[in-house]
Amino acid sequence: MEIIYFLNLIMDINEINKTAYNLINLLFIKDLEKKNGNSVDRKKFIGDSECIGKIDVRKTVYFTIYETDILNNNISANVILDNKKVGLDRKNYQLLKNLVEELLNDNFIYENCDFEFIEKKVFGWIIEVYSKSKADFDLYNYLLLNIEKEKNDHIFYFKVNNLAIEDNFVVGNCEFKSLEENFFEERLIEINHNSINISEKDDEAFLMYNKSFLNKLLITTSFSGVHNKALSQAKKQVELSINALKIFLSLESLNKKNLFNVDFNDMNNDVTEYFSYTNNSDFHTIIGSKKSSAVPVEISSNSFNEFKKEGLENISEFLKNNKKNELYFEIESLINDYGNINSTQNLHIRLVWLVSFFERVIIPKSNTKGKGLIYLKNNILPKLINNFDAEIAGKVNTIYKIRDKYLHNRIELPIGVDSILMFKEIAKLFLLKLIFLNNSNCQTLEDVQRFFDISTSKNL
């Protein structure tokens, strides 16, 4: 094991291993019995799923049967060994899940795998130790070995709907691009190089199955880890890059029914279409979404260069920095919120969300009186806009009035094009100012509030 694993620990490994061994003692062991049609194991609980079991047969020598709740969370598990049913009931399986939560406090484990992966490995270790009557490794070392075995560098490509671009470009940690015509032939050569007994028929099926990705706009990024964790992280970065680009399409968002989106955030699609592969040629392909007939948003090379000048370059570099502080995470959320605002059809809801866009940052947590408009006009706008004047202040007042009428009474007053575009431009300037502050070592919301001379003490 690399020593860095141990330097990153913020938990007691001995306690973790001790808890894991105690779980073995909590296993129930039952002889298999034939049941008549009227017999049941236990009383049905309100909220239970219909006694559904999930059977996971991958990479095990036995079936693991998981009972799930209505949210598809595992709530108990068992296996069949030597004509006996062995497992953890609901109460004790919750103890296993508590242990998984503790394990995810370890930096190496958290960065490389997700809850489900650890959950299954922990239960697998418990059953393995029970069946062998010994442990080849303590749980923690067992997990590290399995993570090292299964983690890899994954490259993901997701389909983007309703967007057309003139040239490839990069936003944050993702690239918008199309594939070369021989892309999958090259992947097939890699797969055949790392595998044996691949038939010509399988080669043809591989090319046929993946050809739907050709001549399509894709967004690509890469992550290291076990597959599901890497997929989750890739989706987060893709969402940020998609929404960062949308920030600069305020006018298009007013005359398009929907802006573009990636499959997993597109309500018109049932299935995310993507493929991924690793440096040892493991390949995953998912297809089957509905096809959109909407007219795509077009972004020329000149338009993209203008976006960069207007601030997209700053946002892109910010996303690459990947800091770990409160303000950085808040800015990430604001980028996604702004993109979602530009994709929302109801303009009055857009205004509600735009006002919240500011107030979640500028109103101190200790303030219970709600002075968002006052803070915005007196503290924020003078530092964002050089020529801030009564005309701009009046438009901001109008936006707040329309927002309040809709939010509190559902009265939909007319929204002026100039007013909403101006307010969205202010939101963009505010976002860029937050990025500047974060790059200048502001790390918390209180740091931001102090910069704008907003008192963080309790308002009496």
DSSP conformational letter for 301: H
CB 456, CB 450: distance < 8 Å: yes
Backbone angles phi, psi at 386, to 5 degrees: -65, -40
What's the CA gap between 114 and 120, in Å, rounded?
Answer: 10
Give, in degrees to the nearest 5, the angle at Cα 221 between 218 and 225: 135
**Residue 72: both structure tokens together:** 């598809």
Task: Give the pLDDT confidence of 392-441 residue by residue, as tens digits.
Answer: 999 999 999 999 999 998 999 999 888 899 999 999 999 999 999 999 98
**Residue 338: both structure tokens together:** 């702004």
Please, which pLDDT band fits residue 40 given cuts at 50, 70 and 90? very low
Residue 267 pLDDT: 47
pLDDT of 192 higher than 90: no
SS (H, E, C) 29-78: EEECCCCCCCCCCCCCCCCEEEEEEEEECCCCCCCEEEEEECCCCEEEEE
Residue 6 pLDDT: 45
Residue 459 pLDDT: 46
Residue 58 pLDDT: 41
Q: Which amino acid is at 368?
A: T
Nearest partner of 4 among 111, 151, 83, judged by Cα? 111
Residue 1 pLDDT: 42
Mean pLDDT of 116-140: 95
Residue 7 pLDDT: 41
Residue 439 pLDDT: 94
Find tokens 């936003």 and name the residue: 171
Exposure pattern of 7-38 as b/e (b: 16+ CB <10 Å)?
eeeeeeeeebbebbeebeeebeeeeeeeeeee
For helices 139-150 and 13-25, the axis angle rounded to 10 degrees is 100
Residue 53 pLDDT: 46
Residue 257 pLDDT: 57
pTM metric for this prediction: 0.80
Residue 292 pLDDT: 58
Task: Give the pLDDT confidence of 319-377 residue by residue, as tens digits.
Answer: 998 888 999 999 999 999 999 998 888 889 999 999 999 999 999 887 656 688 899 99
**Residue 430: both structure tokens together:** 């505010």
pLDDT of 93 higher than 80: yes
Largest CA distance in the chain: 83
pLDDT of 38 higher than 70: no
Mean pLDDT of 135-147: 95
pLDDT of 45 higher than 70: no
| Mean pLDDT (the chain, rounded) | 85
Mean pLDDT of 136-164: 94
pLDDT of 305 higher than 90: yes
Please, which pLDDT band fits residue 258 given cuts at 50, 70 and 90? low
Task: Give the pLDDT confidence of 194-248 residue by residue, as tens digits.
Answer: 776 667 778 888 888 888 899 999 999 999 999 999 999 999 999 999 999 999 9
